[in-house]
Amino acid sequence: MSSAFSLTTPGQQADIAVGAADHAGALLTIDLGAVVDNWLTLKGMAADGADCAAVLKANAYGLGAVPVAQALAAAGCRNFFVAHVDEGIALRRHLPAAANLFVLHGAPPGAEEACAANGLIPILNSLPQLRAWVALCGRWSRRLPAGVQVDSGMARAGMDAAELAELDAVPELLAAFDLRLIMSHLACADEPESPMNREQLQAFSTIRARFPQVPASFANSSGVFLGKEWHFDLLRPGVALYGGNPTPGKPNPMRPVVRLRAKIMQMRAVPAGASVGYGRGHITSAPSRIATAGVGYADGFFRCLGGTARAYWADTPLPIVGRVSMDMITVDVTAVPEDLLYPGALIDLIGTHRTVDDLATEAGTISYEILTSLGNRYHRTYINGTGRVASVSSSL
């Protein structure tokens, strides 16, 4: 056990290098070739003249912002979005100099200089944010680049009508910086029937018409599928790049990106009536074989999945029985011949039979939350789509 850990100097945070898949309780495989294919698919759908960006916030939805950004940059992606300034600072040096790295939240008060000094392009979401950016432009005597987000009906981030009117009244403000992008965000893009999509489109088009020279961006993953009217100049997909279904209720047009396999730690045979796990969460109805595997809610395998989700061994579904523990699950593997499952064998938790969206449905959530919760104890392997290992790392 201790050989898996290398401690740094006392007082520093422990640096845990999980160098080998042998050491890990579960293995996460991330297919960068599929990420690139998904980006090319979305780019291929774009309206004439429109480009496709990539949203890399939250560590590229848990999959690793640096390897994902590098794969997409190599494929020709030139526009990237993160949420926070620090995400941008960490990522900037891994991107080509010509790539734009936008910060969706803009700079919080006091972070403007760090944002500019690191070559980040803030999205200004409010008049105070915009005034602070203009003030920095004044101090540095430079028209620094920034985008502006307008609220087209979601009441979350972006300038509202009153702020836009104020902006109109003070034209020097817009003249003081280099306005690179005007954007807004859709509230109901994953519900194509919702009238909200067209209402927001009209609201955004009206505002956008005031800045005809400035590139505009509106569509997230699901927004791409609403139609070309929603595309403007720059698509802004996130989850679809990572294999989440941008068209809920319809077949997923994206390639799967994530495979998660849990390693069996221990096998046991139990009689009918045996209780499994915390709180006697499961009582066997027949003699059963139970496998204990090394993944739990601390790894983002949600506790609510106990008794609901299924694992797979090849094509055989295996019920996850009893409660999900912090570091373990118990799986009824009675359906698999005894000699095929043993300590060290792997069962699929996310894979061909169980997509990220399936698991999300079983957990009562969305693929976004499954992906961004993927734990940092997994042994991670990045493959380039041909099955070749591009790099192996643990994020710990």
Ligand X SMILES: *Cc1c(COP(=O)(O)O)cnc(C)c1O
196 appears as a binding residue in the annotation: no
Site for ligand X in 92-111 (CB under 6 A): 104
Cβ of residue 11: shortest distance to ligand X, in angstroms? Answer: 38
Distance of alpha carbon 52 from alpha carbon 300, whole angstroms = 30
Q: Which residue type sits at 258?
A: V
- Asked whether position 152 contacts ligand X by CB under 6 A, the answer is no
Q: Return the number of the residue (25 or 246) whose C-beta is nearest ligand X.
A: 246
Q: What angle do CA 378, 8, 23 make, to 5 degrees?
A: 30
Binding mask 48-67 for ligand X (x = CB under 6 A): -------x-x----------
User: Is 294:262 a contact under the CB 8 Å cutoff?
Assistant: yes
Q: Return the number of the residue (221 or 384) whose C-beta is nearest ligand X.
A: 221
Known active-site residue 57: yes
- Asked whether position 220 contacts ligand X by CB under 6 A, the answer is yes
326 appears as a binding residue in the annotation: yes
Which helix (H) or strand (E) is 43 found in, with range? helix 32-45
Query: Which span (38-46, 233-241, 285-293, 351-359) binds ligand X, by CB under 6 A?
Result: 233-241
Task: Report the interhelical angle of 127-140 vs 161-169 (nearest 10°).
Answer: 30
Nearest alpha-carbon partner for 26 in 351, 338, 337, 314:
351
- Burial state string for 18-53 with b = 16 or more CB within 10 A and e = fewer than 16: beebebbbbbbbbbbbbbbbbbebbbebbeeebbbb
- Looking at beta carbons, which residue is closest to ligand X? 238
Distance of alpha carbon 120 from alpha carbon 87, whole angstroms = 10
Binding mask 165-204 for ligand X (x = CB under 6 A): --------------------x-------------------
Distance of alpha carbon 295 from alpha carbon 284, whole angstroms = 22
Q: Return the number of the residue (124 or 239) whose C-beta is nearest ligand X.
A: 239
Instruction: For residue 231, give both structure tokens.
Output: 């595309």
- Asked whether position 237 contacts ligand X by CB under 6 A, the answer is yes
Q: Return the number of the residue (35 or 336) whose C-beta is nearest ligand X.
A: 35
- Residues in contact with ligand X by CB under 6 A are 55, 57, 104, 185, 220-222, 236-240
Active site residues: 57, 278
